[in-house]
Amino acid sequence: MTALPAQVSIVVPTFDEADNIHALLTRIAAAVPDGIRAEVVFADDSTDDTCAVIEKEAARFPFPVVPHHRPEPVGGLGGAVVEGFARGSAPWIVVMDADLQHPPELIFELVARGEATGAELVVATRYAAGGDRGGLAGGYRRLVSSSSTLLAKALFPRALGGLTDPMSGFFAIRRTAVDRAATEDEGLQPLGYKILLELAVRCRPRGIAEVPYAFGERHAGTSKSTPTEGLRFLRHLITLRTADPRARAVVFGLVGLSGFVPNLALLWLLTVTAPGLPYAPAEIIANQAGLLWNFALIDSFVYRNQRRHHRRSLRLLTFAGVGNADLVARIPLAALLIAGAGMSPLPATALGMAIVFTARFLVVDRWLYRRLRGRTTAPVAVPGAVAAVPGAVEAVPGAVPDPLG
């Protein structure tokens, strides 16, 4: 077996998992190889006594057990995992669930595969040869899992190209990859329970490996996969996909095109039900419906992580102002291109629309929704974070320093 690093942090996000803690820690203790110093960091969002159970069980085991109950579950399970990163100290981090559907016996095999291949990310997969997803209860959950995997891989063919199971919640990642993402402008912005997707896309790990495994039956408790989490997942996909300005521009344009539907619908109602209303004011009123539609989609999905800079009412008024301004700008701009550049009406109109669209996108993207420069999550590396825990793993020599100081 490939030599393992001396230290491994195991991060376990928990939500009402009190009945699983003893069995989980017992199996982890049995799996720790001789000479390896492991620590288990629980990032807890529970409403039951899970954290108290963790504290009680911690004294029974020979390795540090670090319980951390979050006062607010910001970012859902993914946010809990990132906070768990901040409280670990080892060069390898293994993420797993507490319900024993992820076999603890595989923890150090994941790390060993990473050491042997030089990969920064090693994923336990249900879908590669030798894997099994039998623990997914019922056809509905299997359909949701398969559909989510296909959708994610279709949206991120390069980042997820080396993964058969990008929805896995069981993986090992080098701290260097996590720290690298933390130094980027946006940092990590987890949402919901698909933290691996966030890490694979934002961290861009240098090398990916997989280890097949059988997804087991839940030991106790209930599944956290709900329709609400499904909506979070879709919002997360949109947020990740629109992190690139070119992708945001495409989505911005598609949303703008969709705004013609409410615009034309209201224009039809105004001209049919109020035939005495002149076309110009009817079009101005109808345009507001399209702008309201566009704002709702863009504000809720494309720029949901950048909304803190202005009040919603101010964002709406500014967006409407920009949208109405292009009505005023398009006609004289086209006239200028026809008269000054000698263009024919059709290409002049098309070019004018393209120029106005570009200006509108830049105003909205670069001013109204300024890209975040601050971190939206806890710092990923916290030197000495576990120093108060007896026997805790020491700081890793040469580790990447905390980018937030």
pLDDT per residue as tens digits for the range 304-316 = 666 555 678 888 8
**376 found inside a domain:** no
Both tokens assigned to 189: 């912005």
pLDDT in tens, 202-258: 778 889 999 999 886 554 555 555 566 666 677 767 776 666 677 778 788 888 888
- Note the pLDDT of residue 401: 31
What confidence tens digit (pLDDT) does each residue in 140-158 have? 566 666 777 777 777 777 7
Number of domains in the chain: 2
Query: Which domain CATH number covers 134?
Result: 3.90.550.10
User: What DSSP state is assigned to residue 324?
Assistant: H
Instruction: Determine which helix (DSSP H) or strand (DSSP E) holds 10, and give its type and residue range.
Output: strand 7-14
Q: Which residues contact 134 (CB under 8 A, 6 or more apart)?
A: 214, 215, 216, 217
Domain holding 41, by residue range, is 7-241
Do residues 95 and 177 touch, judged by C-beta distance below 8 A? no
Q: Is residue 152 part of a domain?
A: yes
- Domain stop point among 208, 241, 274: 241
Question: Using one digit for the tens of pLDDT, what is the confidence trace for 41-85?
Answer: 999 999 999 999 999 999 999 999 999 999 888 877 788 888 899
Query: Of the ranges 26-30, 93-97, 355-359, which one carries the lowest mean pLDDT score?
Result: 355-359
Q: Of 241, 267, 302, which closes a domain?
A: 241
Question: Are 212 and 84 part of one and the same domain?
Answer: yes
Residue with tokens 């966030």: 198
275 and 351, same domain (yes or no): yes
Q: Which helix (H) or strand (E) holds 40?
A: strand 37-44
Domain boundary among 221, 241, 261: 241
Answer yes or no: is 382 within a domain: no
Tokens of 31: 């799996």
Q: What pLDDT score does 116 carry?
A: 94
pLDDT of residue 392: 36
Whether 36 and 133 map to the same domain: the answer is: yes
Q: Take residue 35 and report the two structure tokens written for it.
A: 């000479």
Each residue of 346-392: pLDDT tens digit? 777 678 777 878 888 888 877 787 754 434 444 333 333 333 333 33
Q: Are the C-beta atoms of residues 381 and 86 closer than 8 Å to each other?
A: yes
| Statement to judge: residues 231 and 83 lie in one domain | yes
* 318 and 184 share one domain: no
Which range has the top average pLDDT, 134-138, 183-187, 263-267, 348-352? 263-267
Element (H, E) at 43: strand 37-44
Is 111 inside a domain boundary?
A: yes
- Binning pLDDT at 50, 70 and 90, where does residue 319 land? confident
What span, in angstroms and rounded, lies between the C-alpha atoms of 223 and 21?
16
The reply to whether 259 falls in a domain is yes
Q: Are residues 97 and 28 in the same domain?
A: yes
Is the Cβ–Cβ distance between 322 and 218 less than 8 Å?
Answer: no
Instruction: Determine the pLDDT at residue 115.
Output: 93
More confident residue, 113 or 194: 113
How sure is the predictor about 399, in pLDDT bands with cuts at 50, 70 and 90?
very low
Q: Are residues 177 and 259 in the same domain?
A: no
φ and ψ of 12, to 5 deg: -125, 110
Q: pLDDT tens-digit profile of 284-310?
A: 788 888 889 989 888 877 776 665 556
| CA gap 84, 103 in Å, rounded | 20
Q: Residues 35, 173: one domain?
A: yes
- What's phi and psi for 375, nearest 5 deg? -85, 140
DSSP annotation of 38 reads E
Q: What is the 3-state secondary structure (H, E, C) of 156-209?
A: CCCCCCCCCCCCCCCEEEEHHHHHHHHCCCCCCCCCCCCHHHHHHHHHCCCCEE
pLDDT of residue 230: 63
Tell me how far apart the terminal alpha carbons of the chain are, to the nearest angstrom: 38
Q: Specify the pLDDT at position 28.
A: 96
pLDDT > 90 fraction of the chain, expressed in percent and rounded: 24
Same domain, yes or no, for 136 and 77?
yes
Quote the CA–CA distance of 242 and 156 in Å, as a whole number. 11
User: What distance in Å separates the CA atoms of residue 6 and residue 385, rounded to the nearest whole number?
Assistant: 19
* Burial class of residue 27 (count of CB atoms within 10 Å of its CB; 0-12, 13-18, 19+): middle
For residues 15 and 129, membership in a common domain is answered with yes
Statement to judge: residues 55 and 116 lie in one domain: yes
Is 2 a member of any domain?
A: no
Note whether 214 and 78 are same-domain residues: yes
Tallying the residues shown for the chain, one arrives at: 405
Give a yes or no: residue 391 inside a domain: no
**Residue 154 domain flag:** yes
Average pLDDT rounded to a whole number, residues 311-339: 80
Q: Confidence band (pLDDT; 50, 70, 90) for 190?
A: low
- Report the percentage of the chain scoring pLDDT > 70: 73
Quick count: other Cβ atoms within 10 Å of Cβ 404? Answer: 14
